[in-house]
Amino acid sequence: MTSNQPTTIEIGLNAVIVAVAGGMPQIVQVGHREDHEPDSLPFGPFDPLHHRTFEIGLRAWVEEQTALRLGYVEQLYTFGDRGRHRTKDDADPHVVSVGYLALTRQTPGSEDVLAKHNSAWRSWYDYFPWEDWRDGRPEMLDREILPALQAWAQVPPPPGTPTRALSRMERLKLAFGLGSSDWDEERALERYEMLYEASLVEEAVRDGRPAALKRAHLPKFGRPMQFDHRRVLATAISRLRAKLKYRPVVFELMPDAFTLTELQTSVEAISGRHLHKQNFRRLVENADLVEPTGATSTATGGRPAALFRFRHELLKERPAPGLKVGGR
């Protein structure tokens, strides 16, 4: 029966704020530690009376919740389903969220500033541990994730499930690089979506998916997040990993002067891949992305390392390329 009650919709604004520090891709998560709620991305409602644009509203909410003033920002996607289902007799507004990716640099003391606002930096691999291949193939893939997904893929979808072009097993092979497929770091969102669809993440239980509620034991595949925030984060990871290859966005995460080792570490942190040192340096040199500053760094305690900076003139000469990094 169709309800005569009108559906109220609110626009929410989410930010995935990314920095690289200590060799890890870090994001800002917010929330009171004492309330024992899952981690959350910075978010707030769009107020058309005070926010002329979505981006202005986003920047205002981020500054209020974290004291951070954002630089580079781009819109990711509009999210309106995961964890936001309107159920029977639900009178609350349905929230449609506009997600954004923001790139920044950690500054000294930023941890203390965030702490005062009940926020903190946290590695995105805490939420997606299977995405970090820098030390080789994560053991949890073959030990836990793939057996659970393969068992799910062999079960026919329940009646009424929309027909898809590829079978569950075909999608599994593509997303997780099985058989003749290679692991593609850009498929982070597809992998999380499949884990959610198979009811293997805590968000599936919270959203009331029947298969998840029937499980006696739910494996712990990464830290959960509130609402659909882990899906928003997975979208940001996929977008940034792809963009790394065709735009020089990595330099938004770098200090003004850096060593090539620091640059490589940052690229590896984002891509989740180990890169061959000489091949990486040749790639950077051939792309003509950096120039020497003439100074050196002794921060590592070893031999002085040359410092470089991003060659901004490149942006005036031609569309600046990215770093088309490959895997092992």
Rounded to whole angstroms, what are the CA distances from 129 to 134, 138, 278, 322? 11, 8, 27, 25
* pLDDT tens per residue, range 286-328: 888 999 999 998 887 778 999 999 998 877 665 667 787 765 4
Mean pLDDT rounded to a whole number for the chain: 88
Three-state secondary structure readout of 229-271:
HHHHHHHHHHHHHHHCCCCCHHHHCCCCCECHHHHHHHHHHHH
Residue type for position 268: E
Contact 292, 306 (CB under 8 A): yes
pLDDT category of residue 184 using cuts at 50, 70 and 90: very high
* DSSP letter string, 6-38: PPPEEEEEEEEEEEEETTEEEEEEE--GGG-PP
pLDDT category of residue 4 using cuts at 50, 70 and 90: low
pTM for this entry: 0.91
Q: Cα separation of 297 and 96, whole Å?
A: 47
Contact 257, 293 (CB under 8 A): yes
β-partners of residue 306 are 296
Parallel, antiparallel, or unpaired for β 94-103 and 119-123? unpaired
Q: With left for phi above 0 and alpha for psi between -120 and 50, is residue 288 left, alpha or beta?
A: left
pLDDT above 90: residue 207:
no
Place of tokens 């239980």: 205
Q: With left for phi above 0 and alpha for psi between -120 and 50, is residue 185 left, alpha or beta?
A: alpha
Give the pLDDT of residue 86.
44
β-partners of residue 72 are 103
β-partners of residue 100 are 15, 75
Q: Cα separation of 237 and 125, whole Å?
A: 10
Domains contained in the chain, CATH given:
9-126 (3.90.79.10), 134-222 (no CATH), 248-317 (1.10.10.10)
* pLDDT tens per residue, range 106-161: 988 889 999 998 899 999 999 999 999 999 999 999 999 999 999 999 998 888 78
Place of tokens 């597809």: 190
Q: Which two tokens stand for residue 178?
A: 């099985």
Helix H or strand E encompassing 110: helix 110-116
pLDDT category of residue 285 using cuts at 50, 70 and 90: confident
